[in-house]
Structure 1
Amino acid sequence: MSSGYLLSSFITILALIFLLGFAIGRRSKKQKAKKTYSKQPAYREKYRPLGSDPYNKRNGYSSSNNGLSHGVSSYSTPAQDALIDQMKAEGLLSEFEKGLLISNRSFRFASSIIDEHMEEHKQIVAARKREEEEKAKNKKTWLDLDELEGNAFWYPVEQKKYLFTRREVEFYRLLKKSCSKKGFSVCPKVRIADIFNVTSDDKEEKALWFRTIAQLHVDFLVLDKYDKMYFAIELDDASHNTEKAKRKDWFKDQLFRCDPVLLVRIDEIPDEAKMDVLVDRCAEVADERREHYAKLFDKWKSFF
């Protein structure tokens, strides 16, 4: 076997190995590229900007019809649909454009519609925002009595038939009878604003707090023999179980916690004997609170 034959065989084997490696590498590269592209549609549907689609050829777009034909992943996005619905509600789209949108739901066509009316849409949104801000600025917090007409027949109010519920009437009669034995008097439906003063020097803060406490009341306020505020009673029922009512009750409790006037909450209506015991106990605790807060006030004055 000559040396020339061996050399040619060696070169042939090297060439076959090179071609085999090149073929394997090219195939793996194609598979990798195919796998990468298969993950791209969901990505670009979510993140691609309006008016741009670098994958138009593989999506099914063609230059022969201005890119309006579409494939599986070329439909308009939910954000585009929502914006187009807003433009329809604002009256920016013509009937012809609405008809085209029914037959053509492509991404590019939706982008062209949005781009055409975007400036008008922005102007409408800005005008709506200014109008809302103006309404919030001019929102009335009190009635302007100078603007009211003299005929009260047209006022949007009517007189209630009863001041109390049946449960409150029953409790009030028992409480009034027990308090009269001690020389106390009972005031029903007293506003929190009639019990507390707002001490803030800031006008806006003072108005805010006053409007808040003016809308709240206690069911009964008991006055002592000298007509001074003694203790208050809240008659709780099922209406106090809502989250809003619980929040109001918590606010009332916090107010009375830092005040000599005692606040008592009652769930059930007692009989006459138990009512007498309740009034006596409330009076004892109210006297103790008065003494306690009087001492605190004296200590506070000693620092000044």
Structure 2
Amino acid sequence: METLLFVLVFLGLVIFALGLLGKREGLGGQDVSLPYRLRHSVLTPAERSFLGVLERAVPEGVRVWPKVRLVDVLYIDARGKERQAALNRVLAKHVDFLLVRAQDARPLLAIELDDRSHQREDRQERDRFLEALARQVGLSLVRVRVKEGYALEEVRRLLEVHLALGKGSEGKTGGRG
């Protein structure tokens, strides 16, 4: 519930800011429209469906964050061109859901919903990259096939297995802020 309240407050602030910035004065005092429109929802229908069950299935002390950018979860230990190349590789990517420890927002588990698009070669390449990246940094990653509905107990068991595997495994999440 706290997560939903946070998302709603955040979206309200974004909408307010977009209203203020929707038109800017251009050269000579002319109004210039920006080429953006607000999405009807941050989540796809499949993501909204899964989120409803996921939020009920997570154990106490765990929060669900939807659509978290990889760049916000990772440190990049490189410099110069190598750093820029590594940054470019993750900049436009996100995980569908990130489970975090409520007390300190420590990443615990990444969840990807796989729809039919994941059968395409370009998506399979992205999926392999994401799996290798998750292994490298010590973040558990689980893939869930998109379907009509999700059983609460099935999702709860899935989380129990993957969150239990992560206990005691601190991974490589330390570093500079």
Paired letter, 2:132: Q
Given residue 276 of structure 1, which amino acid in structure 2 is its aligned partner? R
- Structural RMSD (CA): 2.1
Write the distance in 1 (CA, Å) between the matches of 2:62 and 2:108: 9
Higher RCO (CA < 8 A, seq sep 6+):
2
Q: Given the alignment of the two structures, is residue 283 of structure 1 paired with residue 157 of structure 2, yes or no? A: no
Deviation at 1:195, TM superposition (A): 1.1
Which residue of structure 1 lines up, in the alignment, with residue 82 of structure 2?
205
Which residue identity lines up with residue 281 of structure 1 in the other structure?
A: V
- Aligned match for 2:112, one of 231, 234, 245: 234
Aligned residue-pair number: 143
Letter in 2 for 1:214: L
SS in 2 for 1:263: strand
Partner of 1:186: 64
Q: Which residue type is aligned with residue 69 of structure 2?
A: R
Partner of 1:218: 95
1:128-139 paired onto structure 2 within 5 Å: none
User: Which ranges of structure 1 fall in alignment gaps of 5 or more residues?
Assistant: 1-148, 298-304
The residue aligned with 1:80 is none
Residue of structure 2 in register with 1:267 after alignment: 145
User: Alpha-carbon deviations, 1:109-130, whole Å to 9, x = none?
Assistant: xxxxxxxxxxxxxxxxxxxxxx
What letter matches 2:43 in structure 1?
A: F
Q: Go from structure 1 to structure 2 and tell me whether the alpha carbon gap of 1:268 and 1:161 turns closer, same or farther (over 3 Å shift).
A: closer
TM-score (norm 2): 0.73
Structure 1 residues 207 and 183: alpha-carbon distance in aligned structure 2, compared to 1, 3 A threshold: same
CA offsets, 1:74-97, max 9 Å, x none? Answer: xxxxxxxxxxxxxxxxxxxxxxxx
- Does residue 156 in structure 1 map to residue 35 in structure 2? yes
- CA change 1:252–1:272 in 2 (3 A) is same
The structure whose Rg is larger is: 1
Q: Percent identity?
A: 24
Could you tell me how far apart the structure 2 residues matched to 1:225 and 1:166 are?
Answer: 26
Cα deviations by residue, 1:159-213 (Å, 9 ceiling, x for unpaired):
211111111111001101111x4221001000110111221122x2222221220
Residue 245, structure 1, aligned to residue 128, structure 2: no
Describe the SS at the equivalent of 2:137: coil
Q: Partners of 2:155 and 2:124 in 1: how far apart?
A: 25
More strand by share: 2
Structure 2 residue runs without a partner (length 5+): 1-23
